[in-house]
Amino acid sequence: MTTESAGMAKASTPRILVVGGGYVGMYAALQLQRKLRLKRGEAEIVVVEPQPYMTYQPFLPEAAAGSISPRHVVVPLRRVLDQCRIIVGEVRSVDHDKRVASVVTPATEEEGGGATEIRYDQLIVAPGSISRILPVPGLAEYGIGFKTVEEAIGLRNHVLEQLDIASSTRDADVREAALTFVFVGGGYAGVEALGELENMARYALRYYHNVRAEDMKWVLVEATGRILPEVGEELGRYAVRELRGRNIDIRLETRLESCEHRIAVLSDGSRLPTRTVVWTAGVKPAPVLASTGLPLNGRGRLHTDATLRVIGRDGVWAAGDAAAVPDLTSDQEGALCAPNAQHAVRQAKVLAANVVAQLRCEPLTEYRHKYVGSVASLGLHEGVALLYGRKFKGYPAWFVHRVYHLSRMPTANRKSRVLAEWILSGLFKREIVSLGSLEHPRAEFEQAAGSGGDPGRPRP
């Protein structure tokens, strides 16, 4: 194991290590570089993140549907955090007694060495979350996630590929499985992904001479008795009616019990032959938290106080999906803030302000929030929204959804690009091209090398 020092500031300069470059990590680092006099040596900021960008997840459904280019739903960390040092890598463990973190980078294996130790004075733990996978037989082999931009684009290519399969086969069983799409989870991710992709697939069918919209079967499986609980019961029922009005099968109080051999078996006894099972049934904190030695609650999240300091650990801060932050605005004793994007962005600003305050020996601020509301898209021109107590449905809600998330999109650059794409998509037809080969860019080259360049050999 080596100790990282090259290219860093003087040892006397306080170093703030940010673990994760998502909502909390990026926004906290952005606020810190604005508030601190970095060029004068007041502090140094190091951000460690496996990907060199932050993904704005609320736009993943639109990226999957082709309304927004994938590169425009991600924010380059090096451009936004131009006064921070960005390390593309993963924090594997933290030793807070020594105040060092072990980091593995893409160069670690090439160098043949061990992890690099990075010293810190203040630690911000914000690695985000990963999909919560339940032990459902066949899920690991056939399930598709929907949490990253890569998964969103992969799912888009997959859906269009199923239409191609259905159009070209004469086997009724293959056709039925190709045209059956099962989404598990009735939260934001599942409902919005299903709504956008169903809308895209319905549009694409105008270019398929032998596949009709009625041939497709879209199924949403939810274990509870409602979907989109964040928007309230009334709007949740409205969303169910709207989706069912589009012939989308909503299965409430139903669980996925198996998806082995490309057959989705539901708890209500249904057996659905399908080549598409999209899993959006919740998330869990990133595994790295377990190797930090920091106090965790029963759900694996860091115990913090209202100032976002990890309890019992001086100089350690946490927020977002990784933290169990007390909800001071709730009347319920012991209530915690929900691990969602709205809280994460707000907490990041308070966290950054408190880190600066601690460095300058100033009083800290407790995190309190005022509930803004929730918005959700059900596909093009359809949505539900609850903002400041006002309820919106249909087109107005869809418009509010777009305006709200555009306003929250980081940087003017990305806002402008997303807005321009929306305008262009309103003027021109949708793109329905599947670029599944992007997932295996060397396949054709390897085929040519293995077959002597025989163009008649089928592609893998």
pLDDT at 10 over 60: no
pLDDT at 460 over 80: no
Q: Compute the Cα dihedral for 305, 307, 308, 312 and give only its sign.
A: negative
- 429 DSSP 8-state letter: P
Q: What percent of the chain has pLDDT over 90?
A: 70
Q: What's the chain's length in residues?
A: 460
pLDDT at 340: 82
pLDDT at 399: 94
pLDDT at 7: 45
pLDDT at 428: 80
Task: Give dist(CA 400, CA 386) in Å, integer.
Answer: 10
The two structure tokens encoding residue 1: 């194991």
Q: Cβ–Cβ contacts within 10 Å for residue 390, how many?
A: 9
The two structure tokens encoding residue 302: 């860091």
pLDDT at 5 over 80: no
Strand pairing of 271-273 and 143-144? unpaired
Q: Alpha carbon of 146 to those of 153, 230, 389: distances in Å?
A: 9, 19, 30
Contact 221, 256 (CB under 8 A): yes
pLDDT tens-digit map of 189-212? 999 999 999 999 999 999 999 999
The residue ranges of DSSP E strands in 195-244, in sequence order, are: 217-221
Task: Give dist(CA 294, CA 156) in Å, integer.
Answer: 39
pLDDT at 1: 58
Task: Give dist(CA 326, CA 401) in Å, integer.
Answer: 28
- Three-state SS at 62: helix
Task: Give dist(CA 335, CA 329) in Å, integer.
Answer: 9
Which candidate, 195, 200, 208, places its Cα nearest to that of 164?
208
pLDDT at 451: 56
Find where tokens 């989706």 sit: 243
Task: Give dist(CA 302, CA 316) in Å, integer.
Answer: 10
pLDDT tens-digit map of 272-298? 999 999 999 888 889 999 999 999 998
pLDDT bin (cut points 50, 70, 90) of residue 4 is low
Contact 75, 411 (CB under 8 A): yes
Q: Cβ–Cβ contacts within 10 Å for residue 206, how many?
A: 11
The residue ranges of DSSP E strands in 85-214, in sequence order, are: 85-88, 90-95, 100-104, 116-119, 122-125, 129-131, 143-144, 180-184
pLDDT at 119: 96
pLDDT at 438: 65
Q: Alpha carbon of 322 to those of 127, 186, 372, 422: distances in Å?
A: 7, 22, 22, 33
Which candidate, 184, 195, 257, 197, places its Cα nearest to that of 224?
184
pLDDT at 437: 62
pLDDT tens-digit map of 126-147? 998 888 888 999 999 999 999 9
pLDDT at 6 over 50: no
- 417 DSSP 8-state letter: H
Task: Give dist(CA 228, CA 235) in Å, integer.
Answer: 8
Predicted TM-score (pTM) of this structure = 0.88
Distance, CA of 71 to chain centre: 14
- 185 DSSP 8-state letter: -
pLDDT at 308: 96
State phi, psi for 212 to the nearest 5 degrees: -110, 160
pLDDT at 456 over 50: no
- Three-state SS at 445: helix
Task: Give dist(CA 66, CA 198) in Å, integer.
Answer: 12
pLDDT at 449 over 50: yes
Residue 377: left if φ>0, alpha if ψ -120 to 50, beta else—which one? beta
pLDDT bin (cut points 50, 70, 90) of residue 459 is very low
pLDDT at 458: 46
Can you tell me the mean pLDDT for 374-402? 91
Mean pLDDT of the chain, nearest integer:
90
Residues 6 or more apart from 316 whose CB is under 8 A from it?
96, 122, 123, 125, 294, 309, 310
pLDDT tens-digit map of 56-74? 999 999 999 988 988 999 9
Burial category of 37 from C-beta neighbours within 10 Å (exposed 0-12, middle 13-18, buried 19 and up): exposed
pLDDT at 352: 96
Can you tell me the mean pLDDT for 291-320? 93
Can you tell me the mean pLDDT for 352-361? 96
pLDDT at 450 over 70: yes
pLDDT tens-digit map of 11-41? 589 999 999 999 999 999 999 999 998 888 8
pLDDT at 457: 44
pLDDT at 243: 96
Q: Cβ–Cβ contacts within 10 Å for residue 328, how many?
A: 12
What is the signed CA dihedral for 302, 306, 308, 309, rounded to 10 degrees?
-80
Q: In what order do the strands lie in the sheet with 122-125?
A: 85-88, 44-49, 15-19, 122-125, 316-318
Look at 298 and 125; give whichever has higher pLDDT: 125
